[in-house]
Amino acid sequence: MQLSMWKNIFIKRNPDSELLDMLRQIPIFSAMSSREVKEVQRLLYHRKYRNGEFVFKEGDPGIGMYIVVEGEVRIVLHRDDKDHEITRLRRGEFFGEISLADASDRTASAIASADTELVGFFRPELLRLLDIKSAIAAKVLLKIAEVLGERLRFANRAARPLVAQPIPEVEAAS
């Protein structure tokens, strides 16, 4: 606990253009100019996680999304006392965007599977952006809607055969 406290204080809060470039490659920020991405970058929170540390837990109130800057994150569903890994996310990929749109509870857990650095973009900042720079916020929200739409289509396709595919079991997280 102490370690992560100090670790988070000394993280550089305005990282260099590398992060800016990475952000621009993420679908949510891809339609923005670099000035606009810089504006969003000011609102991001930098966090570091050790291997095996929870980013959030299934069922907790969600407040926003994370982007993987370094390391790897496992997205895990806990069913019947077992953890089922859904996906692994690496540099440049993002998760938790549903909570950014509707402040709902987390639908799965996110666990760092290596020493990981994330940047978080949260609802209060999105709402603030809507007030101050509504054009930028509209671009973010449009992209989130597109991503969510794509996932909904994927889920519909997957559900069409009405045959539940067994989810491959993996080792418990802890």
Residues that bind other proteins (CB under 8 A): 1, 4-5, 8-9, 11, 13, 42-43, 45-49, 53-57, 59-63, 122-124, 128, 131-134, 174
Q: Pick from 60, 125, 119: which is nearest to 95 by CA?
A: 119
Angle at CA 121, nearest 5°, toward 156 and 11?
135
Smallest separation (angstroms) from other proteins to the CB of 110: 10
Choice between 13 and 153, CB closer to other proteins: 13
Give 129 or 144: the residue with its C-beta nearer to other proteins: 129
Kindly state the smallest distance separating residue 61's Cβ from other proteins, in Å: 5
Tokens 């449009």 label which residue? 142
Closer residue to other proteins (CB): 28 or 126: 126
Q: Which is nearer to other proteins, 90 or 128 (CB)?
A: 128
CB-wise, 79 or 128, nearer to other proteins?
128
Least spacing, CB of residue 132 vs other proteins, in Å? 5
Q: Which pairs with CB-CB distance under 8 Å and at least 24 residues apart come from 19-27?
A: 19/69, 19/119, 22/67, 22/69, 22/91, 22/92, 23/67, 25/92, 26/67, 26/92, 26/93, 26/94, 27/143, 27/146, 27/147
What is the DSSP code (8-state) at residue 30?
T
Amino acid present at 107: T
Shortest separation between residue 145's beta carbon and other proteins, angstroms: 23
Q: How far is the CB of 56 from other proteins (least distance, A)?
A: 5
List beta partners, residue 70.
117
Q: Note whether 32 and 24 are within 8 A (CB).
A: yes
